[in-house]
A and B are shown apart, each in its own frame.
Chain A
Amino acid sequence: MAPGTVVGMTRNDTSRGAGSGGNAVEVRGLVKHFGATKALDGIDLDVREGTVLGVLGPNGAGKTTLVRCLSTLLRPDAGTARVGGYDVVAQPRQLRRVIGLTGQYASVDEKLSGFENLYMIGRLLDLSRKEARRRGEEMLERFSLTEAAKRPAGQYSGGMRRRLDLAASMIGQPSVLYLDEPTTGLDPRTRNEVWEEVRRMVSEGATVLLTTQYMEEAEQLAHELTVIDRGQVIAGGRVDELKAKVGGRTLQIRPADRAEVPRMVGALAQARLDGIAGATADEAEGTVNVPIISDEQLTAVVGLLGSRGFAISGISTHLPSLDEVFLAVTGQKASAPQQDGADTDTDALQEVAA
């Protein structure tokens, strides 16, 4: 039997394969064309072992193509990529032993039950029958799917299917996990469950490369961020660094009386609270918008307005949208998604395959 055949605890494989200064994923100058389209146009990025890298970008930015290159589904045209120390082009077999992939579209067999899906993956990862059964049941339990274990996956709700997909990716305890827009299309409750699981995997030592269109998701999960657009990296760094650039959150205050909006803006400008500048009036909405970067600032602003006797009827904060992030880091709007929208990457792939 070949030396690498026993999978079981693949996590150990990283230490064997890596030895490259603690980066589980290293991408240099990665290029992938689909005909005339440059889906990846020289991507550089690193994911440190045991951390989450968020890859943020609009539809058609090249996120899915990147993940497919890193999981040996696509062969890059130029550049190099190493995962767990293995080269994606030269050592695909070894590389597949250390990765797990959960895509935007759940990759489970819809005709098979949840349990049979997981059991099959276990067997394909060379677990014994007994071990595959045990691990399958363990994963079903962990992802709250035990009750649905015997139902065909095709009858699962979107959230259940995504959880099953995550469970399938984790059967082999991969040391590097790719999550390609794991919560796109999920309701908030299910989204939170997926986030919880991702945090748990990271706490157990997994390295995660997460693609997302949502700043909030990146902020919730990622240690570092890489923003890509049209196949190129346009910004990168720690999440707080990037947030500082973007201006963190926006605090939106709605006075009981709309006419007070200008007076509130004036009061805030006069008070010169620490780090707070640029309160603006949104006359159409009847709100005051204040960029803030900490909870202390939120308290300070609300406290000040209260002490001046303003009547406030509503307060909300929201994270900058992807558009605002792009505006802040590039000074221009994100490139409009191509005509075929959400499926740009997939469509391009199918055309190439045909």
Chain B
Amino acid sequence: MSAATVSAPAAAAPAREGRIGLRANLRHIGALARRNALQIKADPESMFDAVIMPIIFILLFTYVFGGSMAGKGHEQEYLNYLVPGLMAMQGMNIAMAVGVGVNDDFKKGVMDRFRTMPIARSSVLVAKIVVEVGRMLVATTILLGMGFALGFSVSTSPLHLLAAVALAMVFGASLMWIFILLGLTMKTAQAVQGMAMIVLMPLQFGSSIFAPTANMPGWLEAFTKYNPLSNLADAVRHLLRGGPVAHSLWMTLAWAAAITLVTAPLAVSKFRKKT
């Protein structure tokens, strides 16, 4: 978590002196997360995507596609298929906003101040992720609330529900590293948004989020099988509605771990070098 683990191991004592301890690191992340949370408080509109989007998505898909997918009057069945899929999608949408926000935020002078302070530089990024996972939790709660109101039901147990939410959070957090990296690399927030859409659209729709993949052409079905969003959607679906969960669960965790291990150090190093 600390920058120290990312940089080359420095054995010499002088280099270790001044290293940030774990407790200090947590305190710094706390102070910076508080900053991100206060920013949201100062600008409540920034919560719109987390609050409104889940409601729009669930209504739109249930009533526009639901009838055709499951037959008129059987929207309920599609709802049970859709809600777990939307839980998986949620992370992507929030993560995209992170990339745009980071691009904006890091052009500000306050980042210079952070970079000249005795704190691990990763803490600025980790704090951002902490708050965004919180935003994701809000979005997921609203999505589930809306889903329950429309008739969605969990056929397993509350424990399974918690596990599904946690899995979506873990995977969403790993996606955020990708978008933070994008946000630090691209020149403008618009470019980040454009790039994010190019990556997002095929991943979202070329997956099992909205529709079962069995009816897709072979090449697309093959793509969906390796699409981590399908793995996540399937895992969440099976956790909430029953079914063989192990494969998709492990695949999702493996993807999350791989994405984080590759992109997090790159993002921290990019942030460190960014002038």
A residues neighboring B (CB under 8 Å):
1-5, 7, 68, 71-74, 90-91, 93-94, 96-97, 99, 101, 103, 105-112, 116, 120-121, 123-126, 152, 168, 349-350, 352-354
Contacts and interface: CB of A to CB of B under 8 A. Distances in A.
A315 B147 CA distance: 82
B35 A73 contact: no
B74 interface: no
Given A109-B108, A124-B117, A124-B119, A1 B23 contact: yes
B21 interface: yes
Contacts of A110: 108
A109 B118 contact: no
B197 interface: no
Interface residues of B, number: 37
Nearest to B30: A123
B116 A71 contact: yes
A354 B274 CA distance: 8
Contacts of A106: 109
A112 B38 contact: yes
Given A74-B275, A96-B117, A123 B19 contact: no
Contacts of B117: 96, 121, 124-125
A101 B18 contact: no
A240 B23 CA distance: 50
Q: 5 closest Cβ contacts across the A-B interface? A: A107-B109, A93-B18, A123-B31, A94-B18, A107-B113
A124 B24 CA distance: 8
B21 to A, nearest CB: 4
Given A94-B18, A112-B35, A7 B118 contact: yes
A110 B110 CA distance: 9
Given A1-B23, A3-B17, A126-B24, A73 B187 contact: no
14 contacts: A1-B24, A5-B20, A5-B24, A74-B275, A93-B17, A93-B18, A97-B18, A108-B113, A109-B35, A124-B28, A124-B114, A126-B24, A152-B42, A350-B275
Contacts of A350: 275
Interface in B13-44: 14-21, 23-24, 27-28, 30-32, 34-35, 38-39, 42-43
Contacts of B17: 2-4, 91, 93-94
A201 B23 CA distance: 31
B38 A2 contact: no
Contacts of B110: 107-109
A347 to B, nearest CB: 11
A352 B273 CA distance: 10
Contacts of B28: 123-124
A96 B116 contact: yes
Given A112-B39, A120-B32, A93 B275 contact: no
B160 interface: no
Contacts of A349: 275
Residue among B14, B108, B116 having the largest count of chain A Cβ atoms under 10 Å: B116
B130 to A, nearest CB: 15
B20 A2 contact: yes
Contact of A107 (B20, B23, B31, B112): B112
A109 B34 CA distance: 12
A74 B116 CA distance: 10
B113 A2 contact: no
Nearest to B270: A353
A91 B18 CA distance: 8
